[in-house]
């Protein structure tokens, strides 16, 4: 797995792209602060300020390695180099020294349990839940956010190990009875809408008539008929149908 260290920079002309946050991550962690929001409130407030001015934060991966400890070390080095605002030593919104352990705010099981209780309590408040959902939809609906997520997703799926794990997880999640029932109910609800049904019918017909789709179906059918067991089953079914007629 690849680990990296990333830097968020201030895009305002007067700030000369000064670093405002240092982080360590994998996958699309570097883009998640902008597209999904950050638990670091000062950083989140800064990003919201940029978004309100129709500006986008500059994000750059400055170090990559297969060794997670090297990534932690680089993160700590850069945080010390640029300094933290809360300590009045620099320009970063970071609130820890980075890395693992206490300096990296790695929480204990008990602390995580307390956080979970608080989060559940807040989420049960309809007003709070609506506010969070609206904020996430707004943040993730911008052209910049969609572009960032698309780029990050493409990079992630190009990693064979990550792709394999996700495919296994998706398959396992969709194979449960609850998931199948939910998908079926959603599909029935959508197809009950005449406008959706008409649109999907036209779309499905267009896709089915594409040369590449027809070729793929023909190849798949040919491969099935090459299987003696399948061939015997189909011939038996045909004979049964003919005899019945």
Q: What is the DSSP string of 111-165?
A: HHHHHHHHHHHHHTSHHHHHHHHHHHHHHHTSHHHHHHHHHHHHHHHTSHHHHHH
CA-based end-to-end distance of the chain: 61
Assigned token pair, 115: 């956080």
Task: Give the pLDDT confidence score for residue 6 in this predicted structure.
Answer: 94
The CA-CA-CA angle for residues 139, 141, 146, to 5°, reads 100
Q: Name the least confident of 51-60, 72-81, 116-125, 215-224.
A: 116-125
Confidence bin at 92 (pLDDT 50/70/90): very high
Instruction: Over range 120-134, report the average pLDDT.
Output: 70
Show me where the domains of the chain are located. 3-106, 178-244
Q: For 30-45, how does the pLDDT look when each residue is reduced to its tens digit (9 = 90+)?
A: 888 888 888 888 898 9
How far apart CA 38 and CA 41 sit, in angstroms, is 7
Instruction: Over range 59-70, report the average pLDDT.
Output: 89
55 in Cβ contact with 11 (< 8 Å): yes
Report the run of H or E that residue 78 belongs to, with start and end.
helix 68-82
Q: Is the pLDDT of residue 119 over 50?
A: yes
Q: Is the pLDDT of residue 231 over 50?
A: yes
Q: For 197-224, how does the pLDDT look when each residue is reduced to its tens digit (9 = 90+)?
A: 888 888 888 888 888 888 888 888 898 8
Q: Tokens 């956010």 correspond to what residue? A: 145
Give Cβ neighbours of residue 1 (< 8 Å, ≥ 6 apart): 26, 66, 159, 161, 162
Q: Is the pLDDT of residue 50 over 80?
A: yes
Assigned token pair, 110: 């008990």
* Number of other residues whose CB lies within 10 A of the CB of residue 89: 12
Q: Tokens 């029935």 correspond to what residue? A: 188
Q: Is the pLDDT of residue 90 over 80?
A: yes
Task: Give the pLDDT confidence score for residue 22 in this predicted structure.
Answer: 94
Task: Give the pLDDT confidence score for residue 91 in this predicted structure.
Answer: 92
What mean pLDDT is reported for the chain?
A: 81
How far apart CA 125 and CA 222 sit, in angstroms, is 57
The pLDDT > 70 percentage for the chain reads 80
Pairing of strands 58-65, 3-9: antiparallel
Give the residue, 208 or 107, on which the prediction is more confident: 208
How far apart CA 103 and CA 76 sit, in angstroms, is 9
Q: Is the pLDDT of residue 103 over 50?
A: no
Give Cβ neighbours of residue 79 (< 8 Å, ≥ 6 apart): 22, 92, 94, 96, 97, 98
Confidence bin at 118 (pLDDT 50/70/90): low
Task: Give the pLDDT confidence score for residue 243 in this predicted structure.
Answer: 77
Instruction: Over range 82-86, report the average pLDDT.
Output: 90
Q: Is the pLDDT of residue 102 over 60?
A: no
Q: How many helices (H) and strands (E) does the chain have?
A: 11, 3
């Amino acid at each position: 797995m690849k680990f990296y260290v990333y830097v968020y920079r201030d895009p305002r002309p007067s700030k000369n792209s000064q670093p405002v946050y240092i982080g360590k991550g994998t996958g699309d962690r570097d883009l998640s602060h902008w597209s999904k929001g950050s638990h670091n409130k000062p950083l989140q407030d800064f990003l919201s300020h940029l978004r309100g001015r129709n500006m986008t934060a500059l994000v750059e991966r400055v170090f990559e390695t297969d060794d997670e400890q090297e990534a932690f070390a680089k993160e700590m080095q850069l945080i010390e180099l640029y300094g933290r605002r809360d300590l009045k030593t620099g320009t970063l919104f970071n609130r820890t020294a980075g890395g693992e352990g206490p300096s990296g705010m790695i929480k204990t099981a008990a602390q995580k349990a307390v956080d979970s209780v608080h989060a559940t309590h807040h989420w049960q408040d309809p007003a709070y839940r609506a506010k969070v959902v609206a904020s996430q939809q707004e943040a993730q609906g911008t052209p910049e956010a969609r572009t960032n997520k698309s780029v990050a997703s493409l990079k992630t799926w190009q990693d064979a190990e990550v792709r394999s794990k996700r495919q296994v997880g998706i398959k396992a999640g969709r194979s449960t009875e609850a998931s199948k029932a939910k998908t079926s109910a959603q599909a029935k609800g959508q197809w009950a809408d005449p406008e959706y049904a008409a649109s999907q019918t036209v779309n499905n017909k267009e896709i089915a008539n594409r040369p590449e789709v027809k070729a793929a179906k023909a190849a798949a059918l040919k491969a099935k008929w090459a299987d003696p067991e399948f061939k015997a089953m189909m011939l038996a079914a045909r004979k049964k149908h003919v005899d019945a007629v």
